[in-house]
Structure 1
């Protein structure tokens, strides 16, 4: 009977996970800030066959290693649909992360604990939100979690040298995914410290100095540093990194094109060590990630007050199942708190291990009265917010609605969005009525799952045209006709990605003045069929706005179509727009 119940639980969990994470697949295009950039790079890989050195338009793209873009491109080769392909890597990465957490919980404790860990991760806001986006972070979270899985299989349930090597290999793949994959190896810090202190403990005991203070170094791990097979791990790590690094360095160092050398220097030094030591974006205080955990890691962190004492007791018993993951969690927070620049996604890789640490305690915590009341209150608050927002927008005229509609350019007055919010709120209300006060955890789970499923099915299609540039680029193609050519000035990745015309770009990183200069010269070569697509801040004063056309609003930016007759008074090589690089990176990582 127990096995049957567990089997039903497993089926329920994985079906719900597919629904929560996969709802909306194929219903939207890539959205800024990062999604269009990666999809554009992947699209150009498929179209040009240049996979080793990714391009953004006519320029090399060196901000990130190409592995994630490879997965998007491969997904397209299988599906032949970019709307599906660009989200598939994140979907499979999120499901893989869930599997690692569930299976590790099962092996370290019981199958029931494994699924508690899985539910905790699936229902955490930060995980579900990021997993439904086509950014690098879900993939790097998977590789880091898989690396932790392999290391812990060896250290806590082994010896398992194959998993040891596979864990190091996954960490290496994480490095060529986003550079920070090596943080998985911080799991070895407490192990190494225990190994270093073990001789000191023996010496203290021999001298009668009292070795109890160092008793924790006896934790039952199987690092096996003295075993020759230990080195399988570091070798696997280097092999994984070299899969991309070796051919890239070889080609770049033997190329006569200086742009390849610049790419090599940028991605190996400026975008890794340089970005960590001298972070140039997203400045935040040192305690920023603590705030992220207490806001975006809900509802998981609501259980923290009851978990702290329980963790203390288990650490006091030198339980390595807690000591290693908890130490790693703390080390990750410290690691990402040192740089001046911080983002919420930086600590997302710590979330799976955090859920694993909560999981054995959740059955006892959720039997208590106050945690159950808090869970019910959280679901009620979420329901009231969604339902209240939808109804107030439908029946009232709040200021925030006006700002939203103006920025998004909805043609239906925002009715579809309002109806979607009301539907989400109604689902929450139905969950409250169906499960009632006696099953608050079911209310919470049902409400959160409904939010993400309905978000994917109802809200993302409504926001797609204005968020993805699909709408403005479709209007542009209809306006200029099938035989015309389009030149992009002060453009964003989503414009080139979504363009349905024969399109030319003049570089992305260079200043807008230079782009405009090249665009005007390009247009002059064939004035009858060439149009310029220009972001409003870059539109020069010499353009006759009565002859130019404001084609639409996308991503809260205004875009203009400039025919040749609208700019005849412009000089051949104007210096009309300040070379303001800040405009270039307002969507950067």
Structure 2
């Protein structure tokens, strides 16, 4: 077992280190990375840590400042470069990988055993090698910090429900504050929906109440997040109306919404988010479906064989995985990054579906699946590094 743990550790560290190295190779890609990097650069230059600026004298009301704070700090410490701009997302991803490991370990019947550690590392490796998880681990985006906040919140609850330390109850609310400062009230939906579904099915309302410091934790969340919202509105009046009503209602309900001050609405058929989930989770989402089908074919239950102090905890993990796709099912103005908060929990579920006794061919298949996304990303990155003119970018910003 120790040899297996060492192998998994090296694989996890190898993938993370490899992704870190890739952050310095490519110029800022597409339009999102350079525009967000420029917002952070202006913040570092002007020292204005309250209002992100889309351009000089043009406030950026589209997102809260947490990701820009971290990127501006990286620019100040390391200078303006692709590596510095992308480093905060990599660090956020590193924290998510650890949270995936922790969640899977606590869901094991013997969470301090070598088997539990191996299961946690396997889940962490799966998340790190999903297509979107690998991509966002080194990009200048806000989504990594939203995923960090939502994952911290839900893993905090899972650990507490499994009898973990009381500090994880406080981390539940710290995760909500991170999400509010990274992307806004969306984090309340992405974390509240799976929790509500879980308690509605299991009737564990009292257990949920006892697991967390609801009153003091809520006060902590508000103390961490609300002051910036107040200061932002006072500094540039109109922010709250645009951000709360426009970005959190009209953007998703009105597919032809023309109120976006910083880009264009994306019109897609309703339900497209589920195709994005398949693409974002590649190859592990498809592998998980195959493993579920295999269990059903053999007459086995697809339910997880892990410790449950509270019945139906596998349902909470499943709901956490599907909540982003469920919430955005009827939205037409979407991006594939919207499913990122569900991928950590897909990794937790997929790791529990893998057969305990693998054939030699299955071992080989597992290794190939782990390497698939990094190898494809390396090939694409190498090609664009040699042909930078073929990469869609606004790096000159």
Q: TM-score range by the shorter chain?
A: 0.7 to 0.9
Q: Give the conservation status (yes or no) of the 8 Å contact 1:171–1:181.
A: yes
| In 2, Cα distance between equivalents of 1:229 and 1:19 | 37
In structure 1, the partner of 2:147 is 141
Q: Give the conservation status (yes or no) of the 8 Å contact 2:194–2:316.
A: yes
Of 29, 47, 50 in structure 2, the residue corresponding to residue 49 of structure 1 is 47
1:105–1:284 CA distance, 2 compared to 1 (3 A): same
Q: Does structure 1 residue 332 correspond to structure 2 residue 337? A: no
Q: Give the conservation status (yes or no) of the 8 Å contact 2:28–2:34.
A: yes
In structure 2, the partner of 1:102 is 101
1:130–1:176 CA distance, 2 compared to 1 (3 A): same
Q: Does structure 1 residue 217 correspond to structure 2 residue 223? A: no
In structure 2, the partner of 1:187 is 194
> Could you list the per-position Cα deviations for residues 438-488 of structure 1 after superposition, in whole angstroms to 9, with x for gaps in the alignment?
7232234344433334544x234234456476xxxxxxxxxxxxxxxxxxx
Q: Does structure 1 residue 277 correspond to structure 2 residue 261? A: no
| In 2, Cα distance between equivalents of 1:15 and 1:99 | 11
- The alpha-carbon deviation at position 356 of structure 1 amounts to 0.4
Question: Under a length normalisation based on structure 2, what TM-score does the superposition of the two structures give?
Answer: 0.83
In structure 2, the partner of 1:129 is 135
| In 1, Cα distance between equivalents of 2:130 and 2:374 | 10
In structure 2, the partner of 1:172 is 177
Q: Which has the larger radius of gyration?
A: 1
Structure number having the greater strand percentage: 1
In structure 2, the partner of 1:85 is 84
Uncovered stretches (5+) of structure 2, i.e. residues with no partner = 109-115, 258-264
| In 2, Cα distance between equivalents of 1:311 and 1:52 | 52
| In 2, Cα distance between equivalents of 1:284 and 1:448 | 26
- The alpha-carbon deviation at position 116 of structure 1 amounts to 1.6
| In 2, Cα distance between equivalents of 1:235 and 1:154 | 19
- The alpha-carbon deviation at position 368 of structure 1 amounts to 9.4
In structure 2, the partner of 1:63 is 62
Q: Give the conservation status (yes or no) of the 8 Å contact 1:20–1:453.
A: no
Q: Give the conservation status (yes or no) of the 8 Å contact 1:100–1:146.
A: yes
| In 1, Cα distance between equivalents of 2:364 and 2:212 | 53
In structure 2, the partner of 1:238 is 222
Of 16, 27, 45 in structure 2, the residue corresponding to residue 29 of structure 1 is 27
In structure 1, the partner of 2:113 is none
Of 303, 321, 337 in structure 1, the residue corresponding to residue 288 of structure 2 is 303
Uncovered stretches (5+) of structure 1, i.e. residues with no partner = 195-215, 253-259, 373-437, 470-492, 498-589
In structure 2, the partner of 1:462 is 386
| In 2, Cα distance between equivalents of 1:48 and 1:84 | 21
1:19–1:229 CA distance, 2 compared to 1 (3 A): closer
Q: Does structure 1 residue 442 correspond to structure 2 residue 391? A: no
In structure 1, the partner of 2:18 is 20
Question: Under a length normalisation based on structure 1, what TM-score does the superposition of the two structures give?
Answer: 0.57
Q: Give the conservation status (yes or no) of the 8 Å contact 1:68–1:139.
A: yes
| In 2, Cα distance between equivalents of 1:368 and 1:333 | 35
1:348–1:447 CA distance, 2 compared to 1 (3 A): closer
Q: Give the conservation status (yes or no) of the 8 Å contact 2:304–2:349.
A: no
- The alpha-carbon deviation at position 261 of structure 1 amounts to 1.4
- The alpha-carbon deviation at position 265 of structure 1 amounts to 2.6
Aligned-partner SS, 2:197: helix
- The alpha-carbon deviation at position 243 of structure 1 amounts to 4.3
Q: Does structure 1 residue 349 correspond to structure 2 residue 341? A: yes
Aligned-partner SS, 1:134: coil
1:261–1:193 CA distance, 2 compared to 1 (3 A): same
Q: Give the conservation status (yes or no) of the 8 Å contact 1:223–1:230.
A: no
- The alpha-carbon deviation at position 217 of structure 1 amounts to 3.3
Q: Give the conservation status (yes or no) of the 8 Å contact 1:102–1:117.
A: yes
> Could you list the per-position Cα deviations for residues 485-537 of structure 1 after superposition, in whole angstroms to 9, with x for gaps in the alignment?
xxxxxxxx644x3xxxxxxxxxxxxxxxxxxxxxxxxxxxxxxxxxxxxxxxx
| In 2, Cα distance between equivalents of 1:97 and 1:325 | 15
Q: Give the conservation status (yes or no) of the 8 Å contact 1:169–1:239.
A: no
Aligned-partner SS, 2:162: helix
RMSD over equivalenced CA pairs, Å: 2.9
Aligned-partner SS, 1:337: coil
1:9–1:325 CA distance, 2 compared to 1 (3 A): same
| In 2, Cα distance between equivalents of 1:366 and 1:449 | 23
Tell me which of the two structures has the higher relative contact order, counting C-alpha pairs closer than 8 angstroms and 6 or more residues apart: 2
| In 1, Cα distance between equivalents of 2:124 and 2:368 | 17
- The alpha-carbon deviation at position 73 of structure 1 amounts to 0.3
- The alpha-carbon deviation at position 111 of structure 1 amounts to 1.2
The size of the alignment, in residue pairs, is 370
- The alpha-carbon deviation at position 124 of structure 1 amounts to 1.6
In structure 1, the partner of 2:112 is none
1:367–1:348 CA distance, 2 compared to 1 (3 A): farther
